[in-house]
Amino acid sequence: MDIMNISLKLFCAMVLLWTSATKALQAQPAHSFTFGEGLSFDDLLAGKHKGSALRWIDVNTSDTSWYKEKDKLVGKGWPIGVVRSEKMYQNFILEVEWRHMEKGGNSGIFVWCDAQPEAHNRLPSGVEVQMLELDWVNQHKVNGQEPPIAYVHGELFGAGKTTTTPDNPRGVRSKSIENRCLGVGEWNRYRVVCVDGTIKLSVNGKFVNGIRESSKRKGYLCLESEGAKIEFRNLKVISLGEGYILPEQVVDVL
């Protein structure tokens, strides 16, 4: 009887260990990498200018969709999808340089994002900071008409289930009031200030767009892969102090 009890206990222990190991393996991301740096505004005030490495986790691209090349992160554009930041952010400043390597290239960065792709387009809900190459409007005429050039240089909008109020309305989206983006192969610099549901965007040194009253105000950052090669460099996230926020304005923790 004692031997049977010991055997049963050993069997149960082995089952528990196997279950725990299986869950741990399932919890591991398929692919992750580091790119960019994060620090707090208090760090900057204290004279610290070097932050910690930011970790990105694949959501629905692949382990060959993104690769590092010296100081750059290169996105090949396929499959369509996103990688997300390991951490969530509420109030922060995001700085990044980007350039498209193909005419008419399409990409962007999502902020306050749920990192949960929709079935119909493989993209998540959040506020998208648009990054289109200038020739996009020439390649996507509708009934012979070119879309407005304002569409390509830093349009801001609530994507998926996220809603926003535009500063410079183009329907529900907000367009930049001045075209400051450079074309294929040239570096553009975005500064994105995100505070309590309001976003202001600077393109190459000048603030030209904004949204407010975002339905989500804390979430993940996502880099978008949308069919064209794009390069990023000098990405920095500066965390600011937290503000008042309602539970429904925070995305689900992944």
**Same-domain pairing of 119 and 160:** yes
Is residue 248 a part of any domain in this protein? Answer: no
Q: What is the pLDDT of residues 117-136, one digit of tens each?
A: 999 999 999 999 999 999 99
Residue 253 lies in a domain: no
Run of H or E including 132: strand 126-132
Residues 232 and 138 in one domain: yes
Yes or no: say if 114 and 85 are a contact pair by the CB < 8 Å rule.
Answer: no
Q: Within this chain, do residues 87 and 144 fall inside the same structural domain, yes or no? A: yes
Cβ(85)–Cβ(94) under 8 Å?
no
Residue scoring higher pLDDT (23 or 226): 226
Q: Which of 127, 126, 106 is nearest to 115 (CA)?
A: 126
Residue 198 lies in a domain: yes
The structural domain count of the chain equals: 2
pLDDT at residue 191, rounded to an integer: 98
Same domain? For 57 and 3 the reply is no
User: Residue 192's domain is classified under what CATH number?
Assistant: 2.60.120.560
- Residue 18's SS3 state is helix
Please report, as a single letter, which amino acid is at residue 244.
Y
- Position 254 in a domain: no
- Across 99-109, average pLDDT: 97
- Write out pLDDT tens, residues 46-98: 998 889 999 999 999 999 999 999 999 999 999 999 999 999 999 999 999 99
Asked if residue 75 and residue 3 are part of one domain, the reply reads no
Domain co-membership, 14 together with 52: no
Range of the domain at 134: 31-242
Helix (H) or strand (E) holding 139: helix 136-139
Whether residue 211 lies inside any domain: the answer is yes
How many angstroms separate the CA atoms of 18 and 5, rounded?
A: 20
One domain, residues 187 and 198: yes
Closest CA to 236 of 68, 42, 49: 49
Whether residues 119 and 8 fall in one domain: no
pLDDT of 143 higher than 60: yes
- Asked if 125 and 19 sit in the same domain, the reply is no
pLDDT in tens, 197-210: 999 999 999 999 99
Tell whether 247 is covered by a domain.
no
- In this structure, how many other beta carbons lie within 10 angstroms of the beta carbon of residue 129? 25
Q: Does 249 fall in a domain?
A: no
DSSP letter, residue 178: S
Tokens of 95: 């700085």
Is residue 177, in this structure, part of any structural domain at all?
Answer: yes
